Chain A
Amino acid sequence: MDNMTLIAVASIATAGLTTGVGCMAPALGEGRSIAMALTALAQQPDASATITRTLFVGLAMIESTAIYCFVVSMILIFANPFWNHVIAQAVGK
């Protein structure tokens, strides 16, 4: 396998792995926080406005980790700097 194939294989496999793991962990966290928020809502329906707002902000915080993983995998697939470097070298040869 030459360098190009190696980089392609590593990029694609890592991109899939990044999104996979990066979806799993935030999903667990979000599920837990929603469960806790629902419990709190059931116990104190009067505080629903505060609980919902805090829940949304917290969910956005958790979700952003998944988004980071997504952005990294998108960079790996569509705007890979190593791939571009190898291509530029191959063209320059």
Chain B
Amino acid sequence: MHLSPDELIFWQHGFFKLNATIVFTWALMFVMAVGSRLITRKLSTDLKRSPWQNLLEILVTAIEEQIGEIGLRDPKRYLGFLGTLFLFVALASLCTVIPGYDPPTGSLSTTAALALCVFVAVPLFGIRERGLGGYLKSYVEPTFIMLPFNIISELSRTLALAVRLFGNMMSGAMIIAILLTITPFIFPIVMTALGLLTGMVQAYIFSILAAVYIAAATRAAKPKPEPAPST
């Protein structure tokens, strides 16, 4: 039993190790990139369209709608980042139905990388929306005393994002591995189904939390009072 797919090494040459995490991550990236390229190669706007185009349209519009509901203005701007996060984590947990597959999100290095992406993206989006001064000012609100706490919360929520996803995925794989040794027939299937559910929920939560953090960084702290209509 291994704790993470990092320990499963396929090929090694000196310092360079090709472990299961890297292999499955690249496989997922390949499937997603090539799949979306193939689907979007011939898009149609009339009534007759391929089922795959419908699938992608459902996904994109649903993600866009969810981002809009969080309170981010102009959801299209964040669709690329948040949608990619959601699709990657969701596909990583959906593929657990394939035998011999380890979810790459069950490794702390993958989830840490995803969380670091969020950690970097939040200030970037915040600065783009509010300017450098406006974004930095959000650290000293409501008072200057809150500065260290704001910085700590920035760091700790990144850690929480990484460990939450890692723990959920790793615990799913671990529970199935333990159950396989105790009751090898029915129960692992039930737990796999439960793992699929928690995987989707975790993908949803990861992207929703990223959206909430971005929304908090881009939102102007006090909406400027509307100028009185001159009559």
Contacts and interface: CB of A to CB of B under 8 A. Distances in A.
A74 interface: yes
Contacts of B179: none
Contacts of A57: 205, 208-209, 212
A68 B205 contact: no
B160 A64 contact: yes
B29 interface: no
A69 to B, nearest CB: 9
A64 B174 contact: no
B96 interface: no
Given A64-B163, A74-B3, A79-B3, A56 B170 contact: no
A50 B68 CA distance: 12
Given A67-B164, A67-B171, A60 B3 contact: no
A78 B3 contact: yes
Interface in A36-93: 49-50, 53, 56-57, 60, 63-64, 67-68, 70-71, 74, 78-79
Contacts of A53: 69, 208
B21 to A, nearest CB: 16
Which of B167, B171, B174, B208 gathers the greatest number of chain A CB atoms within 10 Å? Answer: B167
A64 B1 CA distance: 24
- Assign chain B's interface to a size class: 10 to 19
A78 B6 CA distance: 14
Interface in B18-57: none
Contact of B168 (A49, A56, A67, A78): A67
Which of A53, A60, A74 gathers the greatest number of chain B CB atoms within 10 Å? Answer: A60
B166 interface: yes
B126 to A, nearest CB: 20
A67 B164 CA distance: 6
B204 interface: yes
A59 B176 CA distance: 23
Contacts of A56: 201, 204-205, 208
Contacts of A50: 69
B201 to A, nearest CB: 7
Interface in B142-198: 160, 163-164, 166-168, 170-171, 174
A71 B3 CA distance: 10
Contact of B167 (A49, A70, A78, A79): A70
9 contacts: A53-B69, A57-B208, A63-B168, A64-B163, A64-B167, A67-B167, A68-B167, A71-B170, A79-B3
